[in-house]
Amino acid sequence: MSDGVKLRVEAVSQRYGDLRVHEGLDFAVRENEFLCICGPSGCGKTTLLDILAGILKPTEGQVLIDGRPVDPKRHNISFVFQEPSTLPWLDVWNNVAVGLRVKKRPEAEIRRVVDDIISFVGLTGAEHQYPHQISGGMKQRVGIARAFAIDADVILMDEPFVSLDQPTRERMQREVLGIWEHRKRTIVFVTHNLEEAVYLGDRILILSTKPARIVADIADQLPRPRDTLSREFTALRSRCAAILSELSPGKPAAPNEAGGGGRRSVTTTLEEGRS
């Protein structure tokens, strides 16, 4: 693609009767970009992922992948859920291989890809264990490995670490970044955790309360690996928190001087964080 855009959301609105969930969402995600989406509870972030996956058709607007309307039959879309989605009758190795088998990839390719990704995510030695024999963190690792194993157009991740304890969560964040850098993919990652968004994302979109609009589009240019205790990191996290704190239930996004539904475009660099 000449413009480098993998996923494009055009004027998407979602309504259920009189309930307006989203209103005029417009954004694009570049190929291999790691986009994080934050917003108040109940603003429709998971519903938005369903729309991006083609599971739910929006009331208005459209979603394009590589310039064509999203279609789960045409596009390879991986989804990592809040709760582990391992198949209890399959061992770890075969859970990771599921997507490749659905796509009818050659057996030699399946073995090569699964062995590589299992090694990379630290599941070596657990290949023949079943979901009931491994921890919650390991189950989620299996789901992430499965998502990256196929040649996905887009990987959608819906708060995949929300149920994990803090040390496990931090380890999983590092592992996701590691595998993303190893097997580049376009990722849309929903989270309530601002520190997680700043740590993981190339960009951060912040949504308002219902009807959800984009109130900030923040380019996170802090160098990787990111130090969560650095002045630059905490400055960006504080900026995101300040934007979220202005939102309250029933309060629409306020328009700014440039119009555009109140969206703020912010680029945070290392130098800016020091100011």
Residue 59: other Cβ atoms inside 10 A: 14
Q: What tens digit of pLDDT does each residue of 81-133 get?
A: 888 889 999 999 999 999 999 989 999 999 999 999 999 888 999 999 999 99
Span 140-149, average pLDDT:
92
Nearest to 145 by CA among 77, 80, 197, 90: 80
| Percentage above 70 pLDDT, the chain | 89
Q: Is 4 helix (H, G, I), strand (E, B) or coil?
A: coil
Nearest to 9 by CA among 167, 154, 191: 154
Residue 52: other Cβ atoms inside 10 A: 23
Q: What tens digit of pLDDT does each residue of 234-268 get?
A: 999 999 999 999 886 555 555 433 334 455 555 44
Is the confidence at residue 150, as pLDDT, over 70? yes
- The whole-chain average pLDDT of the chain stands at 89
What is the chain's Cα-based Rg? 19
Burial (CB < 10 A; 0-12, 13-18, 19+), residue 240, is buried
- Is pTM beyond 0.85? Reply is yes
What CA–CA distance (Å, rounded) separates 212 from 206?
9
Structure tokens at 49: 């992922």
